[in-house]
Structure 1
Amino acid sequence: MKSWILISMVALAGIHLACGKDEHKDVPITPPKEVSFTAKDATNALNYFNKAYYDPAKKLYFPTTEKNGVAAIWTQAIYWDMIMNAYLRTGDDQWKIMIHDVFEGNYQHYDHFNWENRQVWFIHDDMMWWIISLARAYQITGTEEYLNYSKSGFERVWNESYDAVDGGMWWDFKKSGKNACINFPTVIAAATLYNITKDEMYLTKAKSIFEWGANNLYDSTKGRVADNNVNGNKGWSDYTYNQGTFIGAATLLYKITGDSKYLGYAVKAADYTKMSMCDGNGIMPPEGDWNEQGILKAIFGHYIMNLVNEGKQDQYLPWLRKNINLAWGNRDAARGITYRNYNVTCPTGIVQSYESSSTVMLMQVCPPGE
């Protein structure tokens, strides 16, 4: 995944951001249709998303409604998580079949998950998103192949990314900085693999990286997660996915250890997201002006619900439902797809799958209101 940090760091890493010409502009804010989403809406939202963006022949997702090319490698893993969440929500075998289909499409497209292929994998966090999703897919389906790829991928990334001298995980192969987008997903992957294998090595690593991240990528007075740390300097850019993976990492460690300090971390980060990153009506930011950032709220939604469910913090449900209802009410009436900016009607032209994903993910994990 391309990290959105200081321009100088991007230059050092030699990474080309997935930004292009903005093919659409936000339409004026209009009063959305009053809705209160239902479980049926959640299923419909995913079906509309798949109709707009999924290639059933290649079993991969497109980047835009134009249906050309392939969505960014790391976002394919997030869409796979979305399918898994739909299966967990409904128990419908169509989604279980699709779990295997999406794996097969990506397996074929990405060199059979050959972690040594430097053409396929060019940054550590792209790999870690997949490592997490592969472990989850094993938990859900029991398919040993998924677990084997998750374990081998984790070993590969740890051996190259972990800084044995100063701690933390390097974001890119050139080791130009240590970002939230690799450190907290590493905690999530390690904790998930610990839950599966009960190998204490994974838990030790999860705790170690979380502690480093809490000290070097976090403001404990606010609950704010930094985007990156370059040479000891924290890069304070607010992104919902960084808040989300921090919350997810802390919640997993709380569930495993029972240590309330982790729950405190998660709650504080969730409160910062709600109180300091949203607009005056509590609506989450419209990240992703024609680039992959449109998927960030999908990641946040996935992990904030872990806090709600595993941490018993249901105070966030009304806020999440308010965001979902606004975005769903502002969906494209013809195509059924939603948009990254919940406050406006979804544009009728070209829309990215990244931009349409977050509401769909939220609807798979957040239960409707009474």
Structure 2
Amino acid sequence: MIFVPGVAMAEPDGGNNRYDRWARTSGTVLAGWYNPKTGLYDTTNWWNAANAFNAEIDLSRQQRLDIGARHAAITYDRNIEGGFFNSYYDDEGWWALAWINAYDLTKDKRYLATARSVFGDMTTGWDDVCGGGIWWNKERNYKNAIPNELFISVAARLAARTKGAASKEYLDWAVRGWKWFEASGMINSAGLVNDGLDDSCANNGRPTWTYNQGVILGALTDLAALTRDPELLRTAHRIANAAITTIVYPNGILREPCEPDVCGADGPQFKGVFMRNLGYLNAHSPRPQYADFIRLNATSIWENNRNSANQVGLIWTGPFDSADAARQSSAQDALNAAAAL
């Protein structure tokens, strides 16, 4: 049993009690990086902040905490002037998903309106180069997986939360985005998603980052619910099973392709995105191997990759390396997923 300073422990430590406690304790640490003056998280970047915010919202929903709603109001007020737009369509997608999640938690219509506005800007990134899809950024120099996965996911979630012609338009975008993505060649023969396309519009063979395996799981889960197409879930399961058996250490712990290097400012965020979306797929189309994988990783994070202040590092097998909001929020996603089982 792991004893966490300042957290009451129940005896015996059965069921999901420990994952609930770990998630709450980690969430307290993550909240320490939240800066109410900016509405963002110190030690990390703009797109990472959207994911940290998303993790806090999930924690708040699961544990019936008020921190998600409080931070949503602050983050909105501090940043709405910029509309949550920037030069990168993937950054916009992260914020759109976060605001949809905030809307689900609070039912504040401003948040859904923000997500809709952001998605409207994302659609301007679509053109016929490589047969369709949106660009990574507004300079239009790379078509890759993550913005397009986010595009499908945001469109599907907006379709489920709107009515009439608006809902149909979002669904049409989600279906169009998926048909293009499926035909693009970015899903390789092993069932994993490579990073993007080269100048000839072929799979560029770049790393199979964990978040590229993750976002598509959530997108396909939502799209399957809207269309009742079972093939979408079959594809999601193929990608999920490939990821949990391939992009791992020998002991089954999720491994980012950049590890054991530091993975820069972006890489530490990726694994949490995968775990969040694997948990989402499992909630709607459960498989025992997913629950086992989620619990295995959450346990390793807490037992092998945590310092005395309950901060969590990059490599989930351990040892702890350093702390920041990206590392903590990535682990938070895994702990949330375990607590939700």
TM-score greater than 0.5 by the shorter chain = yes
Q: Deviations over 1:39-61 (max 9, x none)?
A: 1121011102222x222443320
Q: Matches of 1:114 and 1:251 in 2, distance apart?
A: 26
* 1:27 alignment partner in structure 2: none
CA contact (8 A) 1:255 1:310 kept: no
Instruction: Provide closer, same or farther for how the CA distance between residues 99 and 222 of structure 1 changes in structure 2, counting only shifts above 3 A.
Output: same
| Pair 346,253 (structure 1): closer, same or farther in 2 beyond 3 Å | same
State yes or no: 1:235 paired with 2:210. Answer: no
In structure 1, distance between residues paired with 2:29 and 2:138: 37
Give the distance between the partners of 1:314 and 1:345, measured in 2 at CA.
28
Residue 82 (structure 1) aligned with residue 71 (structure 2) = no
Q: Which residue of 2 aligns with 1:201?
A: 169
1:164: Cα distance to partner?
4.1
Contact in 2 for aligned 1:326/1:343 (Cα 8 Å): yes
Instruction: Compute the displacement of 1:346 (Å).
Output: 1.3
Residue in 2 aligned with 1:276? 246
Residue 299 of structure 2, aligned match among 325, 337, 350: 325
Percent identity for Structure 1 against Structure 2: 22
Deviation of 1:290 (Å): 3.4
CA deviation vs aligned residue, 1:119-151 (integer Å, no higher than 9, x gap): xx1211111111121122222211111111111
- Aligned with residue 187 of structure 2, among 206, 215, 219: 219
Are 2:93 and 2:154, in contact at CA under 8 Å, matched by a contact in 1?
A: yes
Partners of 1:321 and 1:217 lie apart in 2 by 32
1:289 matched to 2:263? yes
Alignment of 1:124 onto 2:89: yes
Q: What TM-score, normalized by structure 2, do the two folds share?
A: 0.87
Q: Distance in 2 between matches of 1:186 and 1:301?
A: 19
Q: Provide the residue aligned with 1:365 in structure 2.
A: 337
- Secondary structure, counterpart of 2:197 in structure 1: strand
Task: Tell whether 2:45 aligns with 1:72.
Answer: yes
Structure 1 gaps of 5+ residues are 1-31, 64-70, 116-120
Higher relative contact order (CA 8 A, sep 6+): 1
Provide the rounded CA distance (Å) in 2 between the counterparts of 1:39 and 1:133: 22
4+ aligned runs moved over 6 Å, structure 1: none
Distance (whole Å) between structure 2 residues aligned to residue 74 and residue 114 of structure 1: 10
Residue 267 (1) aligns with residue 244 (2): no
For the Cα contact (< 8 Å) 2:93–2:122, is it kept in 1? yes
Deviations 1:153-200 (Å, cap 9, x if unpaired)?
1111202x1014621111121212211110010000000100011311
Q: Any idea what SS the aligned residue of 2:203 has?
A: strand
Deviation at 1:314, TM superposition (A): 3.9
Instruction: Give 1:43's aligned residue.
Output: 24
1:244 aligns to what?
Answer: 214
- Higher mean C-alpha deviation, range 357-366 or range 256-265: 357-366
1:103 aligns with 2:83: no
Question: Aligned-pair RMSD on alpha carbons?
Answer: 2.2
